[in-house]
Amino acid sequence: MLGAAALVECASMNATRTRPLVIAHRGASGERPEHTITAYRLAIAQGADYIEPDLVMTKDGVLVCRHENEISGTTDVALRPELAARRREKTVDGVTAAGWWVEDFTLAELKTLRCIERLPRLRPANTAYNGQEAIPTFAEALALARDAGVGIYPELKHPSFLREQGLDPVSAFVEAVRAAGGQSAADRMFVQCFEVGPLLTLAQMSSLRWRCVQLIAASGGPWDRPGTAYAEMIADPGLQAMRLERGVTAIGVEKSLIVPRESAGRSLPPTDLAARARRAGLAVHAWTFRAENIFLPLELRRGEGDAAHGDLAAELRAFYAAGVDGVFSDFPAAAVAALR
């Protein structure tokens, strides 16, 4: 259980929010290759409250910003003949894939690669920026957010898997935050994870105070809690347990848990999750909002084809009206504009 002072502080953080937060999902990743300094800078210029770096770990223990530790889709590693022999098959959180893995490279080796657009079919304009930037470290993202005066919202990716590789992402995360200013850096941050253990470790720390966000998908459960379903965690007892026993400040939920869709792809009425979470003392941040038709409900699609942009503003307004406290968006400018 958390101490009373920590609980009061978390409640105060929730109570002082005056409008939904705009969280730049992997930066302004709808307009620049994701997890690049340029994507983060554009998001900041567009008015995002937070930039969101996903964190994986190099062979020599450095946290870097990639959505996944397999990097063939987000870097030019597959085009480097000298690295062909580094390709291998791994199983991460039950999913088997072949490719190149961050934890097999030192930071120096990783910095020789260049970032590319992950979704070139949907975002062909972003390919103009391919090959221009190296993978940023978490320390570089922290410095950028600090200097720009915005928040940062890191996600710890696959911590159980990384521990199995002999790496310690939670300790490295804490040390990076301490080096960036300690509590002053933590105060400008939410930290998120799909697993339970890392957030519990952070919440129980006595030296630093964290705003922890439990990520919740529409199916499955946390990898480090076999037999526990996300559906159980967002029932009323589960919400109370997250808040009171695990020190969670907010839940980061897949958006269909707030506004479901029918089988044909049309939106249904909102659920009561946002209201129930708020009664439990938890903020609700929903993911992920994207402009392309393929990601939008049927009634908000416009034009022809999956890549055409639909009415993202209408979807965002519906979620703001449903009571969410923040949105993760690939298009932070649209999320900011919809607040008006």
pLDDT by position in tens, the chain (length 340): 333 333 333 443 444 447 999 999 999 999 999 999 999 999 999 999 999 999 999 999 999 999 999 999 999 999 999 999 999 999 999 999 999 999 999 999 999 999 999 999 999 999 999 999 999 999 999 999 999 999 999 999 999 999 999 999 999 999 999 999 999 999 999 999 999 999 999 999 888 999 999 999 999 999 999 999 999 999 999 999 999 999 999 999 999 999 999 999 999 999 999 999 999 999 999 999 999 999 999 999 999 999 999 999 999 999 999 999 999 999 999 999 999 9
52 has which bridge partners?
25
* Range list of H helices, 4-134: 4-15, 37-45, 107-110
Helix axes 236-244, 4-15, angle to 10 degrees: 110
3-state helix, strand, coil in the chain (%, to 5): 40, 20, 45
d(CA 236, CA 203): 21
| pLDDT at residue 6, rounded to an integer | 36
* Cβ atoms of residues 257 and 234 within 8 Å: yes
Q: Among 25, 35, 158, 285, which one carries the catalytic annotation?
A: 25
Domains of the chain: residue spans and CATH: 4-339 (3.20.20.190)
Confirm whether 67 is a catalytic residue.
yes
- Catalytic residue of the set 35, 67, 158, 285: 67
The 10 Å Cβ neighbour count of residue 302 is 12
**Do 133 and 115 touch, CB atoms closer than 8 A?**
yes
CB 282, CB 246: distance < 8 Å: no
- 51 alpha-carbon distance from chain centroid: 9
Residue 75 preceded by cis peptide, ω within 30? no
CB atoms within 10 A of CB 204: 14
| CA distances, 270 to each of 57, 182, 256, 285 (Å) | 38, 39, 9, 15
Say how many CA atoms lie within 13 Å of 330 toward its Cβ. 21
